[in-house]
Homo-oligomer: A and B are copies of this chain.
Amino acid sequence: MPETGTTTPRERYRAQVRTEVKEHAWEQIATAGASALSLNAIAKQMGLSGPALYRYFAGRDELITELIRDAYRSLADTFGAAAASGTDVTGLAHALRDWALEDPHRYFLIYGTPVPGYHAPDDVTAIASEIMAALLDACAGLPDDRPATPFDAHLAEHRQWADDHPAPSATLHRALSFWTRLHGVLSLELAGHFNGMGFDPAQLFAAELDALTGPPQAS
């Protein structure tokens, strides 16, 4: 008889079914895309009737939001763990790539084509900020060896997103470049745009990373 805090058996059962539903949801997304996600189909897969799932999710929208939340949470935790283990920004980058390759559909649920009209709830955008903060922390550890750019100046006056972070605007710039460049390589790779081109996407990723962390003028 395991004990998990003060959770009752029923609560534990509920939680277990919820996660099971979500697992099937991810499988379905991987098979047919996020837009084809269907509560009825998940229920059938689990050997349940369609309406049964309404005991666990208010509806299709809540399930999707929950998946998005989990995806963000997972990435934030990955970054958090990397930071806790004292990794530098290079480690963070590889953690990101590993995380993305582990489940491309999860990556695209966050960073892929936006759903028209969908707006993530506040707690989800809060996790996004947490991710950004971890990236900023990591970039703060980089040597300040880059010449100042006009964009740094712009950032110095437009940094709402990092108002509670002490990093100078050069660091903010670094973090943004990290984000956009790594996302650029990763999303094209995961979408298959490099297929048949011949080169190894991992090496392109590494090259972009080098350009970000390496000396201002690589030898």
Contact = CB atoms under 8 A, between A and B. Distances in A.
Contacts of A155: 199
A123 interface: no
Interface stretch (A38-46, A77-85, A186-194): A186-194
Interface string A173-214: 100110111111101101111001111100110111011000
A216 interface: yes
A115 interface: yes
Chain A facing B: main interface SS = helix
A108 interface: yes
A95 to B, nearest CB: 18
Contact of A185 (B160, B180, B185, B211): B180
Given A111-B193, A112-B113, A184-B182, A176 B161 contact: no
A206 B30 CA distance: 36
Interface stretch (A18-26, A58-66, A145-153): A145-153
Interface of A: 30-36, 108, 111-117, 128, 147, 149-151, 154-155, 158-161, 173, 176-177, 179-185, 187-188, 190-193, 196-200, 203-204, 206-208, 210-211, 216-219
A26 to B, nearest CB: 12
A11 B152 CA distance: 56
Given A33-B113, A147-B219, A183-B184, 4 more contacts: A113-B113, A159-B198, A160-B196, A161-B198
Contacts of A33: 35, 113, 115-116
Nearest to A114: B191
Contacts of A108: 113-114
14 contacts: A30-B116, A33-B116, A108-B114, A111-B187, A112-B113, A147-B217, A147-B218, A151-B204, A155-B199, A159-B198, A160-B196, A176-B199, A183-B184, A184-B185
A192 B151 contact: no
Contacts of A158: 198-200
A210 B211 CA distance: 14
